[in-house]
Amino acid sequence: MTSIVYARTFEMNETGKAKLSSLIKQNPIFKTPETTGDELIPQKAEAPKIVGSDIDWAIFVEQNNLRTDPKSFIPVLEEMQKTFKGQEPKAVLNAIKAIELLDKRLAPLEWNDGLALAARDHCKDIGPKGLIGHFGSKGTSPYDRILRYGQAGWWRAENMAFSGPPKETWTELTAQAKKIIMNLFIDDGFTSREHRMRLVNPDFKVAGIASCPHRYLKHLSVIDYAESMRVNQLAEDEIKKLAK
C-alpha cells in the first residue's frame, strides 16, 4: 500500500527533523562524512557451508566488497564506461556518482544455505524454461521460496543477474563477479535503481546465491536476501543430502 498526504503548506517541527536526520544516517545512499571509527571495520563474512558453486561464492565476495569498500569499484565502472551500450547513455556515470556518495561502509552479509536453496529452486525452475522475472513457472514469489526453507526476518528480497557461463580460474571468476555486481549496481533501464538499492540495503544481513544455465540468456544467478534466516528441517535435510 502507498499513502500520499497533501497539504497547502507544511513546516516540519523538531520531532520531524530529528526523525528525518535519523533516517538519513541509516541510509547508505546519503553521505555521512562524520562517520568514522571502529564501526567502519567490517567483520569477516562466513564462507558458504554446503550450497553454492564457485561463481556463487565469487559473486557473494564481490557483493561484500561493494558493501565494505564501495570506492574500490570506481575503476571497474570507469573501464565499463568505455564500452557500455545500454538503454541509458549516462547509466554508468550515474552509478559512479552513487558510489562516490557511499561514504558509510556496511557490514558484510553472511552466507545462508537456506536462502541459497530458495535461490536454487528459482534458478532450476526458470533457467531451463528460459523464463525471466521473480515469479516462478507456478507463480511462486521470492517470499514463497524463502519461506519453504525457514523463518526469515521482516526484510527479504531477491536480485537476478544474467551473464556468460562461469569462467575457469578464480581470477577470471572474480573479474566476472565484479561485472555482475556492477551491472546490478548500474541498473540500466530501471529508474528506481531497485537492484542497486538491494545491494546496499543495510537491513539485509544474510544472503544465499545459486547460478545455473539459462535457455536463452546463457547464465542466470539468483541472489536471495533476508534480515535473518533460521532454516527449517526441510532445509537441514536438503543440506545433508548435498553434503554427502
* Listed residue (31, 66, 11) closest to 207, CA to CA: 66
pTM of the shown model: 0.78
pLDDT > 90? residue 9: no
Distance CA 109, CA 64 (A): 6
Q: How do residues 17-50 score in pLDDT, each as one tens digit?
A: 455 444 434 443 333 333 333 333 333 344 455 6
Task: Tell me the pLDDT band of 60, cut-offs 50, 70 and 90.
Answer: very high
Distance CA 20, CA 1 (A): 21
Contact 99, 77 (CB under 8 A): yes
Q: How do residues 93-149 score in pLDDT, each as one tens digit?
A: 999 999 999 878 899 999 999 999 999 999 999 999 999 999 999 999 999 999 999
